[in-house]
Amino acid sequence: HDPAKARAFLREAGYPDGFETELWYPKGYLGRIPEAVQEDLRIAGIRVVLRPVFASVLNEKVSTRRQTQMCLWGWIVDFPDATTFFDPTLNGAKISEKQCLNYPFYSNPEVNRLIVQADRTFDPGERKQMLRRMESLTMQDAPWAPLIHESRSFLCHPRLRGFQGHLVWMYRLEKLWLDE
């Protein structure tokens, strides 16, 4: 967090007085996070108009090119592998004008190539290197800014047995039982 450095970057980019943008987000879901982002950007010199909308409206907007300038939206792991994030959300080869899961409409030819190559690689060490390279490239390009990694706590009755977390789902109901 370096507001002075951020303002210097804005001046260097041709925005000496900052600029105004909109931040779309799902109404009633993120608590005070939109206001916190708005304040952090205000301090850096960016004026943000908040646009809270229903999730269905947000999904339609962010999945259509040039409908939003900035949004708070998320992605939940579908299966325990890094490609669950890279392929649908950052693969430039899969960009469409509407109903696109690549919300920033991001395309980096090297990332696109690595996504395909990692999918075809059987060597775990080689694949891990490719995934790290993809992560490094996308973080340098910054098509999005990771803000939140949700952590959940569960309060369980002493009679509840079989409860355990899961990599993909929060918990597995079919494994639960009540002890007498």
Give whole-number Cα distances, 108 to 92, 118, 130, 152, in Å: 7, 15, 14, 34
> Crossing angle of helices 83-90/109-120, nearest 10°?
140
User: Would you state the pLDDT for residue 75?
Assistant: 78
Q: Over the chain (180 residues), what is each successive 10-residue block's mean pLDDT?
A: 94 97 93 95 96 96 94 82 86 94 94 96 96 95 83 82 77 84
Q: What is the pTM of this model?
A: 0.79
- Strand-pair partners of 53: 26
Look at residue 56 and give its three-state secondary structure: helix
